[in-house]
Amino acid sequence: MDEFLREFAPMLAEGLLDTLYMTLFSTFLAYVLGLPVGVLLVVTDKDGLKPHAALNRVLGIVVNILRSIPFLILLIAVIPFTRFVVGTTIGSSATVVPLVIAAAPFIARLVESSLKEIDRGAIEAATAMGASPWQIVYKVLLPEARPSLILGAAISVTTILSYSAMAGIVGGGGLGDIAIRYGYYRYRTNVMLVTVAILVIVVQIFQEVGAKAAKWGDKRL
Amino acid sequence: MLLTVEKLNKAYDGLEVLRNIDLSVEKGEVIVVIGPSGCGKSTLLRCINGLETIRSGSISLNGELLNRPKTDWSSVRQKIGMVFQSYDLFGHLTVMENLLLAPMKVRHEDRKTARIRAEALLERVGLGDKSRAYPRQLSGGQKQRAAIVRALMMEPEIMLFDEVTAALDPEMVREVLDVILELARDGMTMIIVTHEMQFAKAVADRVVFIDGGEIVEQNTPELFFTNPDTERAKRFLNIFQFDTPK
């Protein structure tokens, strides 16, 4: 056990940091893209605040196309783009690119469904008081949907975390990379088990924190 | 004339819901609109503040035509307060924040002046101690009174009430109707859609009876409830006469 720790602890610690960096940074960037798209999907919907059939259709199609590509294939397909953006195709920074491309449309749909849960009455009441569509988005739609948006974020983080592990196959860095290199290629099953255990604990923490934050932010019940 | 509706027609997917509606409302007048469910009463209110688009006809506020493309609905809606059946308070905000949101964001008032007005209004409707409560902590009647105050915060020229007591438990109906009665006494112009006949009798300057999407009769409350001009109004009122079977 001592020997195992001496051999792998520094590497696992570094892998964990890499994984956290990839996951959190990708989630952040994916929200920068996905949140506005999700809002636009709701606003331009035919029952939305500013219906716009063409824009809604185009956004919907783009989101669906990106969501239908399996992540493993996307990972490889975007390699030229990754090289162009990051300058390299291996390591955790390179993994952020496909992660963001895969997660942003997923997040857009999550945001869309969170916002659609909001009671039409509250939106209508705001409209009837003379609020503009964007005032309604900022002051009613997003704040009213906050608990649901936070839960969605917890789902996103855990999904992106598992995607990041997949990136280990193409040298993506992080715990997934370690699990594949040692656990799979070198038959070090114990390394694999430990990485999986760490991933499980990290997912638990994200989920727990997300659920707590959502509940804390919910004034409606 | 504060509000004039002329030859208004409204249809949903080809189905006519309002036909040739002519209605004018003077400043300070209280109009009560009654009629069977689905007759188009609520739709009429929603057309007046632009929540629904109309097919033909015209709606004017203070002589200014509303149903044209360049209408600035944001400023028009500030003059037309509306209260809904389901209260529709913002659940993530306290009562006070509910009241301050539109004055501060839409009218760009500073918090202090809006707050002074909000406190006075809350006091008036008996919610002086509820400004920090969240909507979930209020009873239905309290929520509806808060929603009325929220609409009043914009200092509207006319108030539209869309069956505001229909979702309330019977014991809470009175507290809401009392608030509306008091507004009427203060000279607020109002169009009230309601099923509360006793209340209609007490508050109305004029009763408008709508059936099948058209105005069948407009009359004073005294005449309408005792001796209406039309057969359809008589039949409708009979439904409410449990106590005097014929």
Going by C-alpha positions, the residue among B76, B177, B187 that lies closest to residue B125 is B177
- pLDDT tens across A32-60, in order? 999 999 999 999 999 899 999 999 999 99
Does position A221 have pLDDT exceeding 80, yes or no? no
- pLDDT tens across B178-235, in order? 999 999 999 999 999 999 999 999 999 999 999 999 999 999 999 999 999 999 999 9
Percent of chain A scored above 90 by pLDDT? 70
Chain A residues near residue B91 by CB distance under 8 angstroms: 122, 144, 219-220
ipTM summary value: 0.86
Report CB contact under 8 Å: A131, B102: yes
The single-letter DSSP state of residue A139 is I
Report CB contact under 8 Å: A126, B102: yes
Going by C-alpha positions, the residue among A109, A105, A132 that lies closest to residue A45 is A109
- pLDDT tens across B17-69, in order? 999 999 999 999 999 999 998 888 999 999 999 999 899 999 999 999 998 88
> What is the per-residue pLDDT for B242?
64
Average pLDDT over residues A174-197: 87
Query: Cα separation of B165 and B181, whole Å?
Result: 13
Chain A residues near residue B73 by CB distance under 8 angstroms: 130
Query: Cα separation of A195 and A175, whole Å?
Result: 6
| Overall pTM surpassing 0.90 (yes/no) | no
| Chain B residues within 8 Å of chain A (Cβ atoms) | 49, 51, 73-78, 80-82, 84, 86-93, 101-102, 105-106, 134-136, 147, 150-151, 154
Chain-wide mean pLDDT for chain A?
Answer: 91
Query: Cα separation of A36 and A44, whole Å?
Result: 12
Chain A residues near residue B80 by CB distance under 8 angstroms: 128
Candidate from B49, B76, B106 with C-beta closest to A131: B106
| Count of domains observed in chain A | 1
User: What's the gap in Å between the CA of B42 and the closest CA on chain A?
Assistant: 14
Query: Cα separation of B100 and A129, whole Å?
Result: 12
Does position A65 have pLDDT exceeding 70, yes or no? yes
- pLDDT tens across A73-92, in order? 998 999 999 999 988 888 88
> What is the per-residue pLDDT for A7?
82
> What is the per-residue pLDDT for B1?
87
CATH of the domain at A149: 1.10.3720.10
Candidate from A129, A139, A220 with C-beta closest to B136: A220
Chain B residues near residue A146 by CB distance under 8 angstroms: 92
Residue of B66, B88, B136 to mutate, interface with A, max A Cβ within 10 Å: B88
Average pLDDT over residues B156-164: 95
Does position B245 have pLDDT exceeding 70, yes or no? no
- pLDDT tens across B92-108, in order? 999 999 999 999 999 99
Residue of B82, B90, B98, B161 to mutate, interface with A, max A Cβ within 10 Å: B90
Report CB contact under 8 Å: B77, A121: no
Report CB contact under 8 Å: A121, B84: yes
Query: Cα separation of A154 and A114, whole Å?
Result: 13
> What is the per-residue pLDDT for A177?
87
Query: Cα separation of B218 and A173, whole Å?
Result: 78
User: What's the gap in Å between the CA of A36 and the closest CA on chain B?
Assistant: 21
Residue of B nearest to A124 (CA): B51
Which structural domain range is residue A20 located in? Answer: 2-217
Report CB contact under 8 Å: A130, B73: yes
Residue at token pair 């020229």: B157
Percent of chain B scored above 70 by pLDDT? 98
Q: Quote the tokens at residue A11.
A: 């590497």
Confidence of residue B130 (pLDDT cuts 50, 70, 90): very high
Residue of B51, B97, B105, B162 to mutate, interface with A, max A Cβ within 10 Å: B105
